[in-house]
Structures are given as structure tokens and as C-alpha cells.
Amino acid sequence: MSSTATTRPNGLALFILPSALLFTLFFFLPIGLMALMSVLTGNPVVMPKVAFTTRHYARMIGDPFYLEVIWTTIRIGLVTTLVALVIGYPLAHWMARIRSRTGHALLLMAVLAPMLTGIVVRTFAWMTLLSDKGVVNQTLISLGLISQPLKLMYTETGIVVGLVHIYVPFMVLTLTGVIGRIDERLEQAAENLGASPLRAFIEVTLPLSLPGILAGSLLVFALAISAYVTPILLGGFQIMTLPILIYQQISANFNVGFAAALGIVLLMISLLLVIAYNRALGLVSGQRELQ
Amino acid sequence: MMKALGPLSRRRFLTASASLGIGTIAAPYVARADDPTLRITGWGGKWGDIMKAEIGPAFESEFKCKLQIDSAFPYLPKLQASSRSAPIYDVMHTNSNEQWAAAEMGLVEPKIDPKLVPNLADVYPYAISDKIVGVSIFTSAIGLGMRTDKGYNGVTSWKELWDAKYNGVRGGYVIPVNSLGQAFLMMCGTLFGKGQTDLDAAYMALEKLKPIKIVDFTGAMEKMLLSGEVGMCVIHDSGIYRYDGQNQPTDFVSPSEGVLSLEQVLTITPGSKMKELANAYVNYMLRPEVQKRLAETVWYSPANKKVKLDAKYDAKLLTTPEKVSKLIQVDWKWYNERKDEIDQRVNRIFRA
Amino acid sequence: MQTTASSSLPVAQQAASMPVPGPTRPYGRYLYLAVNIAILIFLLAPIAIVVVFALNPTPFIQFPPVGVSLRWFEKFFASRDFMHALWFSLEVAVLTTVSATMLGASAALALARGNLPGTRLIVATMLSPLMLPAILTGLALFQTYVLLDVGRPTWGLVAGHTLVTLPYVVRTTLAVLHNFDTRLEEAAQNLGASPLRTFFEVTLPLIKPGVLAGAIFAFIVSFDQFPVSLFLVSPGNETLPVTLFNYLKFDLDGTIGAASVVSIVLAFVVVIGLDRTVGLRSYVKL
């Protein structure tokens, strides 16, 4: 994205080396092992005799169930990202524009709090809120708004609610930085020229915050498609996603090869999406630089 | 009893470790010669508390060793990933279905030698039956759990669970990942078909069980029953009895067709360098006083026939041959061979 | 870029709603606040439940709560396991924060200024640890440690945590780097400063806010990390989330709520501390 991309790498390029080493030892090697196990009949590290096999991938392709699961995973990821963006944006905007230092600190804490509750405890809290006898249903029934409890848990809706809650902070904090850098005077100038605040927002703030929107969405999407504690507890295994299947294969079926194959497929799909997304991000920031 | 085994002298460990000197290179966790360490797995919760506070230290001082208890679930995938000649555990404690899977993969020894573990002579037959690898040191009874404040009276049969009045408050488990769910599936075959292995009858029965609230572990079911989210569910007796004395409106029902057995099984790994100590540990866990202490802490029924529990526990747990005879054991070998196929089916049945 | 935005402005007069906080349009302002407060309620409602869970004396989540008691806090603080896990988690989180911040910030610098080929691919790769279900990453790391015959050392756990926190630091730092004026660096160099001096005296102070934001992410994500730790913790050295998970498999009482409240308070202390010392505010408004 640098405008001098055509020149040779300079001394600063060396700063990538520590991370490259970390990735080689603790990511490429382990994931390589997993990729290897996904095409072998057993674990090459501890077993003397293993043979090459394509059965794990054949199993995935041969049964529409797995394709449905992949689609469900991506669908939940997309919906979660969209909802996180819609509710994260106003909050990020407020955080970026609030003038009081205390107010900002309080908002920051409120945004960070969901990340600090602990994944398991937080999900139990959602179960308390969303279950048939949960706070939400009890409140709605006592207000006379509904007579039968709404089915909020063990549905995709429940999973999305839980995921949005955990990942909104990532969206907000990514967006806040970007919105904060947009000069407030631009919005005011637009309004002074007669634009409504909504219009000023749509035509000034929103386009300028696009890089933040893309970066935040990418982060939330990556996290949402790989999440498994929340989809398990709030979906009760009645909604199958790829990470749940992987968890099940590792911890209950002890079929690491198949779990690895599922993981590799998930990673490939996500990487493709991310590269496409990054290209879009590059395009947007490129345009901004041109203008 | 332990005398027969001979003292586990320091020198023996020294020689044992020395002979394995080469193996050490490939082995991630070989105990130091001067400090024999027995690596085991064990539950958390009250079980873990009492193991750490009393039972573990007593074993350590008696056998001059260190116990290293891994209570971070899941155990089997870790054992599976570790080297066969230098396994991560010496003794594995987990439920029977996982022990069978481990035995099939050659990760644990299928049987415990009664000559090395004299207390095996005192256990109920179920604990070392052909449905068990290793030895079951405790069992729980899987039956029905119900609320007592909802007017559900006269529940005696498993089939009661299918009654339409429990629609919306019926509880079950995620079969692919939960032992209770898997055992219950086999029970369905017995109840509505030709027997445990009648899967088609079981699938049909499960289909009719909907709507049902399913959870992946029993702690969540206990919570749902306590909060009233669930009124009637499949559960193990200890999951109900452990709230004894708290005046909770819940009770355990032992169905007339029999209760399913949820065994706590110990096995020894073939590659263990601490075989003698491992056998000593298994024997120790079967001692009447150890069994009594643990049984009265977590409400598990002891496998040793000689254990005399206090009246309160004796009344509810399976402590006589007659009570034990109501236990139905699941053929986990048969089940595990078909696990993928069963998972596929039930995943579809319970898909929202 | 700023000129484009203002020059393409349309002219339409409507006293409509959202979202600029201006005192001149009270209705829009109210709607803006109402929407945000609703979002805050959504974010905080589960935490309120956790607090209720921690204070309610019954051994399960109950609504409405029947009373207030500190018994679960007492149980939490009296438990050696929980206390040990809490300190161990803090230790791991601090080590992770330090390593992820140093590695991530330098990687971001290399990516933004190093003229590396295939930057986009590298950035995507650096995000990939987040896309793989962490239980698989954990198992893969465990398998690798078995292969390398290193056991389950604390540094292995820290390395795993660094891997899944590094992407945040890279992202936040890159965001800042992309947005500041390279002419400052060029000017410094034109004035005769060595690249090293330019880095320490110009670049570093400028990227500090982004690095700091990344550090906060790294700390929190490591402190709350569960699936990666699952396979990498060793007996006696378990992190708080793992201990809590094992605990609630057997005792689903308010202790896990109390642990959660303590974690939140602790993390807030860290965040407020950072705010007081280095000024978090600065990273929001650059």
C-alpha cells in the first residue's frame, strides 16, 4: 500500500523477522503437521506406520451435510459481522466524538467489559437471559407482550446475539481510531453548507471511515467463523458449525485427521475471503491516496 | 494388602529410569530418578478438592512419590498426541466410553492384573465385567431427574419422558459428545426395540422426544433442573444427590426398566515407566476407606463391596448386590465402532 | 482526501435525525443518545447477570435473585487453585503482551515501511491464527511440542498466546502507520538524522497509540484465552479460564461469577493504570 512499492526492501524490512520466526515455529510447523495428518491414516509423530489417504476430504465432499455446515458457518459469520458493524458504528462514533475525558474512560470500560467476563461465564449469562424462563422472556411475558416464550436459544439468532456481544468491542475499537481521525470540522462544514446531519454523515463520515469498517469487519468475521464455545452453549449443538464439528471430532471421536481436514478447509475459505477483502481495502485506501 | 507388592524402593526407580535413559530423549515427561512422579488424570470440582487435600497427599507419603494430576479436560486427545513409549499419563481416569476408545487405539491396557491389584478381588462384578476395560472404581446410576414441585407423580418408567406433558421442559444430552446421551440412546433401543443395539428403534424414539432441551455436559443439566428450565430429564444420581441438604425441589427416579451405568474407570498406559506405582495407585483407589471418603464427597457408588457408607449415603447409592444388579452396562466397543454413523444420524435428528 | 469529501457535498435541507452530536438539533441528538444507550445496555446486560450470579447466595443462576452474599467471593479467594490460576494467568498475559507488542509492532513497521514484496499476502497470513478454530491451534501446538520434545513449558503457552494476539497488535499499529504523514520521517532524514534516530525520535512516538491499543487487546485476549490454553497448560500451572472451565463441569455455582467480576475489576485497574500513565485517549484522537 506504500506508494514506493516498486523499490527494493530496505532495512526496516528486517523487523518482520522475529514475527516470521514465531510464525514458522508456532504456526506453520504445527499447522503443517495438522495438514499432514489430514491426508494420513494416523498420527505420524507417534505412530510408526501411516499411509497416505484422501478419505477425510472425500468424506467431506461426499456428504452434503458438511457443505451445509460450511455454509451455516459462513452465514453466521456474515450476519454477525453485519450486526456488529451496525451496532458498533454508533458507539464508535460516540466514543470518537465524546469530549469528556471521564465519559470516554467510562465508555471504553463499557466496551471492554464484554471481553473481560470470561468466555464461559459470559455465555452462561446469555443462557440466563435468553432461555425460556430467562430474563428476556419473563419480562416480555409479565409485560403482556407475548404469551408463549420466544425461542431465543438453540437458534442461529441466539448464536449471533452471543457472538455479536463478544466481538462488538473489536469492531468498536477498530472503528473508533478511524472515526477519531476524521476531522469533525468536515461534518460541520457539510452542515453549514446546508446538508442534513444524516446526509453529512452518509456523504462525509461514512466514506472516510470505510477503511475502518473493512478492517473491523475482517476481524469480526475471522473471529466469528472460528468461534466454538458460544455456538456450542447457545446453539446447544442443534446448529452445527465447522468449529463445533472440529471440537467434536477432537474431543469425542478422537479423529484428529478429520478434524484437521475440516480445519484446513475452514482456513482456506477464510483466507480466500480475507485476501479478497484486503484487496477491497487496498482499493479503498488507494483511492483515498490518489484523491 | 500393599505389603504383598513389596516396597517401592528408591533403587528400583533408579534402575527403572536408568534402563530407560535412551527413551528419555524421545519422552517429554520422564520423572527424575530421585522423585518418582505418577502422572494421572482426575476430575475437578469436589472430587479434585478432596484428591488434592487428602487422598493424593496420603498416597504420596505412603508410596514416597509425587502425584501429578491433570484435571484439564480432554485427556484422551492429549494421550493420543503423546508418544506411545512415553505417554503423558501413567494412569488415566475417565468414563467408560473413552476408555474403550483408548483401548482400541492401544493407548491403555485393556485389563488390570488382579495379582498386582489385590483389591480387585473385592469389587462388584460390573466393575471388571467384559463391558469394562481397566477397572471401574465408582459408578453412577443414570436415570431420570425431575422437579418435585410441578406435580409430576408416580414416575416409574423411562417411557414417562416421552409424555407430551413434558414438552418444553424435557432435557437430554448432545449424544455425540456426552456419555449419558450415548448410554440413553442405547436405552431407547431397549425400550422401544429389540435391545441396546436396535439403532433404528432408538432413532425413532429420539425423533419423538422432540421438543427437547439438549446440553453438552451434566453440570448444565443440573443447573437447568435447579432453575426450573427443565422439569424432567436424563441425569445421573450424583447430579441430583449432590445438592442434598439444600432443600432443592428435585429428585432422582430409578426407572423400573433399570438404570444405566456411568462408570469411573481407571486404566494404565502400556508405555508407563511407573507400572508398579500405577498398579499401587489403582489398588489404593479401591481401598474401602478411600472409596468411602470419595463416595461420600461426590455421591458416587463405590465399586468395592466391602465399603460401608453412612446411612444417608447407603440409602441412596448402589451399595448392595441387589441394588447393583439393576445396573445396565453399555457395550461401548459396539457403540464406538458405529460412532460416526450414529453421530451423523443424531446430528440430523436434533438439528434445529 | 479531506478536500474531496467536502467538495462533493450536496445541499439539502432537512432537520432529520442522526448522528452528529450537535446541540442545534435536539431530536437527532436524543435519538443518537438513545441508540447508543440501547447498545450499551446490550453490552452490559450479561455482565449485570454475572454480577447478580456472583452475589446471589443460591448455587445456580436464579432470577429474581434471592439475596446478596459474598460467599462466592470468599470461596474464590480462599481457593488456592483459583488464586494460583489467577496469578499464573496474569503472568502469562503480561509475558504475552510484552512479546506480542514487540513482535507485532516491529512487524507492522516492516510491513508499512520496509518495501516488502507481497505485503497484502503477509497481512492476510498474519490474521490466519484468528481464523483457525483455536482448539485445533492448541492441539497442533501440543503435538509440535511433543515432536520437539519440550514438554508443556510456560514459554510454550506464552508462544501460543502470542500467536493469537499478534494479529491485533499488527492491525492496530498498521492502522496508525497508514495514517500518518511519512513526510515527517523524510524531513527528519533530510535534516541528517540516521534511519535509526528517525525511528526512535519520530516514528516510535507517533505509532505509540496504535501499539498501546494493540497491547490492551493482547492483554485482554490472553487473559481470557481458553481454547489455545486447553492443551498447553500443565498440571499445577493452569490458567484461570481453564480452571474455571474444569470447575464448572462439576460445580456450577456463583464462584465462576465471582471469578469473572474479579477479572473485570483487575483488567480495569490495568486499563485505568495505562490511561493515567500513557493516556489511552490519545490513540482515539490522532
Question: Are residues C86 and C108 part of one domain?
Answer: yes
Using CA atoms, how far residue A109 sits from A88, A106, A173, C40, C280, in Å, is 15, 5, 11, 11, 12
Q: How many CB atoms lie within 10 A of CB A42?
A: 16
Q: Look at residue B142 and tell me whether its pLDDT is greater than 60.
A: yes
Cβ-contact B20, B36 below 8 angstroms: no
Strand partners, B92: B267
Question: Are residues C36 and C152 part of one domain?
Answer: no
Number of CB pairs, chain A paired with chain B, less than 8 A apart: 75
Q: Interhelix angle for A64-97 vs A101-116, to 10°?
A: 160
Chain B residues within an 8 Å CB radius of C60? 222-223, 226-227
Segments in chain A forming alpha helices (H): 17-23, 29-37, 55-62, 64-97, 101-116, 119-130, 135-142, 156-181, 184-192, 197-200, 206-208, 210-226, 229-235, 242-251, 256-290
Check residue A131 and give its pLDDT.
Answer: 82
Cβ-contact B185, B206 below 8 angstroms: yes
Query: Which of A83-97, A262-276, B6-20, C208-222 comes out lowest in average pLDDT?
Result: B6-20
Question: Are residues C186 and C129 part of one domain?
Answer: yes
Q: What is the mean pLDDT of residues B119-136?
A: 97
Q: Is residue C15 one of the residues assigned to a domain?
A: no
Question: Are residues B170 and B90 part of one domain?
Answer: no
Query: Which of B141-150, B153-162, B217-226, C18-27 comes out lowest in average pLDDT?
Result: C18-27
Question: Are residues B340 and B320 part of one domain?
Answer: no
Chain B residues within an 8 Å CB radius of A131? 224, 229
Q: Cα–Cα distance between B344 and B347 in angstroms, integer?
A: 5
Chain C residues within an 8 Å CB radius of A19? 103-104, 106-107, 126, 166, 170
Q: Do A263 and C115 touch (CB under 8 A)?
A: no
Q: Do C144 and A288 touch (CB under 8 A)?
A: no
Check residue C89 and give its pLDDT.
Answer: 94
Q: Is residue B308 one of the residues assigned to a domain?
A: yes
Q: Does C102 touch chain B (CB under 8 A)?
A: no
The alpha carbon of residue B70 is apart from the nearest alpha carbon of chain C, in Å, by 5
> What is the per-residue pLDDT across B265-305, written as a single tens digit (0 to 9) for each?
999 999 999 999 999 999 999 999 999 999 999 999 999 99
Question: Are residues B155 and B254 part of one domain?
Answer: yes
Q: Does C42 touch chain B (CB under 8 A)?
A: no
Q: Is residue C57 one of the residues assigned to a domain?
A: yes
Q: How many CB atoms lie within 10 A of CB A8?
A: 8
**Phi, psi of B162, deg, nearest 5:** -85, -5
Check residue B12 and give its pLDDT.
Answer: 43
Among left, alpha and beta (phi > 0; psi -120 to 50; other), residue C193 is beta
The alpha carbon of residue C238 is apart from the nearest alpha carbon of chain A, in Å, by 15
> What is the per-residue pLDDT across A99-139, written as a single tens digit (0 to 9) for each?
887 888 888 888 888 888 877 778 778 888 888 878 888 88
Q: Look at residue B4 and tell me whether its pLDDT is greater than 60.
A: no
Place of cell 494388602: B1
Q: How many CB atoms lie within 10 A of CB B245?
A: 8
The alpha carbon of residue B230 is apart from the nearest alpha carbon of chain C, in Å, by 14
- Determine which of A254, A256, A258 to mutate to test the interface with B (most B C-beta atoms within 10 Å): A254
Facing residue for C139 by CB, picked from B72, B81, B222: B81
* CA nearest neighbour of C129 among A21, A219, A262, A169: A219
Check residue B332 and give its pLDDT.
Answer: 97
Query: What is the helix (H) or strand (E) element at residue B268, kind and residue range?
Result: strand B259-268
CA-based nearest residue in chain B for residue C60: B223
Using CA atoms, how far residue C36 sits from B221, C19, C30, C32, C261, in Å, is 36, 10, 10, 6, 24
Query: Which of A224-228, B20-24, C234-238 comes out lowest in average pLDDT?
Result: B20-24
Q: Do B215 and A155 touch (CB under 8 A)?
A: no
ipTM for the predicted complex comes to: 0.85
Cβ-contact C68, C54 below 8 angstroms: no
Question: Are residues C156 and C113 part of one domain?
Answer: yes
Domains of chain A listed by start with CATH number: 54-264 (1.10.3720.10)
Question: Are residues C46 and C139 part of one domain?
Answer: no
Chain C residues within an 8 Å CB radius of B222? 60, 252
Q: Is residue B16 one of the residues assigned to a domain?
A: no
Query: What is the helix (H) or strand (E) element at residue B23, kind and residue range?
Result: helix B23-26
Check residue A6 and give its pLDDT.
Answer: 54
Q: Do C130 and A223 touch (CB under 8 A)?
A: yes
> What is the per-residue pLDDT across A54-67, written as a single tens digit (0 to 9) for each?
999 999 988 888 98
Q: Do B46 and C250 touch (CB under 8 A)?
A: yes
Categorize the per-residue pLDDT at C142 as very low, low, confident or very high, splitting at 50, 70 and 90: very high
Share of chain B above pLDDT 90, in %: 74
Q: Interhelix angle for A242-251 vs C134-148, to 10°?
A: 40
Question: Are residues B174 and B284 part of one domain?
Answer: no
CA-based nearest residue in chain A for residue C135: A247
CA-based nearest residue in chain B for residue C238: B72
Instruction: Domain count for chain B, please give it.
Output: 2
Q: Does B81 touch chain A (CB under 8 A)?
A: yes
Q: What is the CATH number of the domain that holds B243?
A: 3.40.190.10
The alpha carbon of residue A33 is apart from the nearest alpha carbon of chain B, in Å, by 12
Segment 231-260 of chain A within 8 Å of chain B by CB? 232-233, 235-240, 248, 250-256
Q: Is residue B13 one of the residues assigned to a domain?
A: no
Place of cell 449424544: B175
DSSP letters, C86-138, are: HHHHHHHHHHHHHHHHHHHHHHHHHHHHS--TTHHHHHHHHHHHHHS-HHHHH
Q: What is the mean pLDDT of residues C238-263?
A: 85
Q: Does B26 touch chain A (CB under 8 A)?
A: no
Q: Does A56 touch chain C (CB under 8 A)?
A: no
CA-based nearest residue in chain C for residue B27: C149
Strand partners, B1: none
Q: Do C135 and A180 touch (CB under 8 A)?
A: no
Q: Does A61 touch chain C (CB under 8 A)?
A: no
Q: Is residue B17 one of the residues assigned to a domain?
A: no
Q: Cα–Cα distance between A166 and A247 in angstroms, integer?
A: 20
Q: What is the CATH number of the domain that holds C275?
A: 1.10.3720.10
Segment 235-274 of chain B within 8 Å of chain C by CB? 243, 246
The alpha carbon of residue B238 is apart from the nearest alpha carbon of chain A, in Å, by 22
Q: Cα–Cα distance between A120 and C262 in angstroms, integer?
A: 15
Check residue A201 and give its pLDDT.
Answer: 82
Question: Are residues C213 and C92 part of one domain?
Answer: yes
Q: Is residue B174 one of the residues assigned to a domain?
A: yes
CB-side exposure of A188: number of CA atoms within 13 Å? 9
CA B178 from chain centre, in angstroms, equals 12
- In sequence order, the 6+-apart residues with CB closer than 8 A to the CB of B218 are B173, B178, B180, B235, B236, B239
Question: Are residues C84 and C58 part of one domain?
Answer: no
Q: Cα–Cα distance between B197 and B207 in angstroms, integer?
A: 17
**Phi, psi of C47, deg, nearest 5:** -70, -35
User: Hey, is B271 helix, strand or coil?
Assistant: coil
Categorize the per-residue pLDDT at C61 as very low, low, confident or very high, splitting at 50, 70 and 90: low
Sign of the torsion formed by the C-alpha atoms of A8, A10, A15 and A21: positive
Q: Is residue C114 one of the residues assigned to a domain?
A: yes
Q: Look at residue A290 and tell me whether its pLDDT is greater than 70.
A: no
Q: Do C252 and B48 touch (CB under 8 A)?
A: no
- In sequence order, the 6+-apart residues with CB closer than 8 A to the CB of A130 are A136, A137, A152, A153, A158, A161, A234
Question: Are residues B345 and B316 part of one domain?
Answer: no
Question: Are residues B223 and B156 part of one domain?
Answer: yes
Q: Cα–Cα distance between B328 and B142 in angstroms, integer?
A: 9
Segment 238-257 of chain A within 8 Å of chain C by CB? 242-243, 246-247, 250-251, 256
Q: Do A177 and C103 touch (CB under 8 A)?
A: no
> What is the per-residue pLDDT across A159-203, written as a single tens digit (0 to 9) for each?
999 999 989 988 998 888 778 777 778 878 887 888 787 888 888
Q: What is the pTM of this model?
A: 0.85
Residue A76 burial (10 A CB sphere; 0-12, 13-18, 19+): buried
Question: Are residues C173 and C37 part of one domain?
Answer: no
Question: Are residues B295 and B251 part of one domain?
Answer: no
User: In this structure, what DSSP letter does residue A9 have?
Assistant: P
Sign of the torsion formed by the C-alpha atoms of B218, B222, B227 and B229: positive
Q: Look at residue B114 and tell me whether its pLDDT is greater than 90.
A: yes
Q: Is residue B66 one of the residues assigned to a domain?
A: yes
Question: Are residues C160 and C57 part of one domain?
Answer: no
Chain C residues within an 8 Å CB radius of B78? 142, 231
Q: Do B48 and C235 touch (CB under 8 A)?
A: no
Facing residue for A197 by CB, picked from C18, C113, C217: C18
Q: Does B11 touch chain A (CB under 8 A)?
A: no
Question: Are residues B135 and B54 part of one domain?
Answer: yes
Q: Do C131 and A266 touch (CB under 8 A)?
A: yes
Question: Are residues C162 and C222 part of one domain?
Answer: yes
Facing residue for A119 by CB, picked from C146, C172, C224: C224
Query: Which of B224-238, B242-256, C173-187, C192-206 comes out lowest in average pLDDT?
Result: C173-187
Question: Are residues C130 and C33 part of one domain?
Answer: no
Question: Are residues B205 and B341 part of one domain?
Answer: yes
Instruction: Domain count for chain C, please give it.
Output: 2
- Determine which of C146, C157, C230, C239 to mutate to test the interface with B (most B C-beta atoms within 10 Å): C146
Q: Do C285 and A181 touch (CB under 8 A)?
A: yes
Check residue B8 and give its pLDDT.
Answer: 43
Q: What is the mean pLDDT of residues C93-109?
A: 94
Q: Is residue C267 one of the residues assigned to a domain?
A: yes
Q: Is residue B9 one of the residues assigned to a domain?
A: no
Segment 133-162 of chain A within 8 Å of chain B by CB? 133, 154-156
Residue ranges making up the domain that contains C64: 29-69
Question: Are residues B61 and B188 part of one domain?
Answer: no
DSSP letters, chain C, are: -HHHHHHT----------S---TT-HHHHHHHHHHHHHHHHHHHHHHHHHHHHHH--SSS--SS------HHHHHHHH-HHHHHHHHHHHHHHHHHHHHHHHHHHHHHHHHHHS--TTHHHHHHHHHHHHHS-HHHHHHHHHHHHHHHT--S-HHHHHHHHHHHHHHHHHHHHHHHHHHS-HHHHHHHHHTT--HHHHIIIIIHHHHHHHHHHHHHHHHHHHHT--HHHHHH-BTTB--HHHHHHHHHTT--STHHHHHHHHHHHHHHHHHHHHHHHH-THHHH--
Q: Is residue C84 one of the residues assigned to a domain?
A: yes
Question: Are residues B338 and B197 part of one domain?
Answer: yes
Q: Interhelix angle for A119-130 vs C26-55, to 10°?
A: 110
- Determine which of B167, B347, B348 to mutate to test the interface with A (most A C-beta atoms within 10 Å): B347
> What is the per-residue pLDDT across C198-243, written as a single tens digit (0 to 9) for each?
877 887 787 887 788 788 889 989 998 888 998 999 988 899 988 8
Is the pLDDT higher at C177 or at C84? C84
Check residue B128 and give its pLDDT.
Answer: 96
* CA nearest neighbour of C140 among B78, B73, A267, A58: B78
Q: Look at residue A5 and tell me whether its pLDDT is greater than 70.
A: no
Residue ranges making up the domain that contains B42: 37-139+262-325
Question: Are residues C250 and C115 part of one domain?
Answer: yes
Report which listed range, B267-276, C72-81, C118-127, is most confident.
Answer: B267-276
Q: Do A133 and B227 touch (CB under 8 A)?
A: yes
Share of chain C above pLDDT 70, in %: 84
Query: Which of A17-26, B42-51, C251-260, C276-285 comes out lowest in average pLDDT?
Result: C276-285
Q: Is residue C5 one of the residues assigned to a domain?
A: no
Q: How many CB atoms lie within 10 A of CB B43?
A: 18
Cβ-contact A190, A235 below 8 angstroms: no
The alpha carbon of residue B41 is apart from the nearest alpha carbon of chain C, in Å, by 9
- In sequence order, the 6+-apart residues with CB closer than 8 A to the CB of A200 are A187, A190, A191, C9, C20
Question: Are residues B158 and B252 part of one domain?
Answer: yes
